[in-house]
Amino acid sequence: MSIVNIINADLQIEQKKILENVNFELKEGDLKFLIGKTGSGKTTFINSIFGNLDIKKSDKFEVLGFDLMKLKENQIPSLRRKIGFVFQDFKLLEDRSIYKNLDFVLKATGHINEKKINEKINRALKLVGIDGSLEKLPDELSGGEQQRVAIARALVAETDLVLADEPTGNLDFKTSKEIFSYFLKLKKLKKTIIFATHNRELANRADYKLLISNGD
């Protein structure tokens, strides 16, 4: 099943063209890498899939069954609830515990049953190897631990697509490999993943690599 299908798209920000002639397909369970140096357009491409970018033109731009060329304002929340995002700088809520960071996401997406919320949070954190730290604040964790929590946050609402924008960019090489191992776990669970990075060694373990250079 096709999760993302883009044909001949030009993408722009504030009327400035950033990427052109983009052709990309992502199927259920795929793990695909976007490779390119800083400024090459990786984040721009990921933002377009999240519904955050102007599409200048495209023969087709479909994400999770939504036609982004015809996407209405009131459809954007429905699309974004199906997408998990993992950032380079974690973006955890600094004044909330690890548990509350995930609890916030679930309640923001309409989950209200406290028992089920607790089950989902514990399941997600167990998947990424976080146990016994639920009441800690983010700054009490290492960078690698914070990124594992961020991965759990992207999964806890049972999203269909995970967008990872340089998720190992602030981590040392050993920790980067550890974090990437959790993305391989997600692939085994049939999660669909786009992983943007400039780390070519990690990218060699992907199903497919897409090189972005000079807007192409």
Average pLDDT, stretch 19-38? 89
Tell me which residue has tokens 């397909």: 25
Q: What is the DSSP string of 20-69?
A: EEEEEEEETT-EEEEE--TTSSHHHHHHHHTT-SEEEE-SEEEETTEETT
Average pLDDT, stretch 66-89? 89
Element counts in the chain: helices (H) and strands (E): 7, 10
Tokens (6 digits) for 181: 């191992």
Q: What was the pLDDT predicted at 62? A: 94
Give the total residue count for the chain: 216
Q: What was the pLDDT predicted at 148? A: 94
Q: What was the pLDDT predicted at 153? A: 94
Asked whether 130 and 66 are in contact (CB, 8 A), the reply is no
Distance (Å, whole) CA 23 – CA 45: 11
Q: Is the pLDDT of residue 86 over 90?
A: yes
Tell me which residue has tokens 């016994």: 132
Asked whether 214 and 20 are in contact (CB, 8 A), the reply is no
Tokens (6 digits) for 208: 């497919």
Average pLDDT, stretch 24-38? 89
Q: What is the pLDDT of residues 92-145, one digit of tens each?
A: 999 999 999 999 999 988 888 899 999 999 999 999 988 777 999 999 999 999
Q: What is the pLDDT of residues 158-171, one digit of tens each?
A: 888 999 998 988 88
Alpha helices in the chain (DSSP H): 42-49, 76-80, 98-108, 114-127, 143-156, 173-188, 200-203
Q: Is the pLDDT of residue 213 over 80?
A: no
- The overall average pLDDT reported for the chain is 88
Q: What was the pLDDT predicted at 53? A: 64
Q: What was the pLDDT predicted at 179? A: 92
Single pTM value for the model = 0.88
When pLDDT is cut at 50, 70 and 90, the band that residue 214 belongs to is low
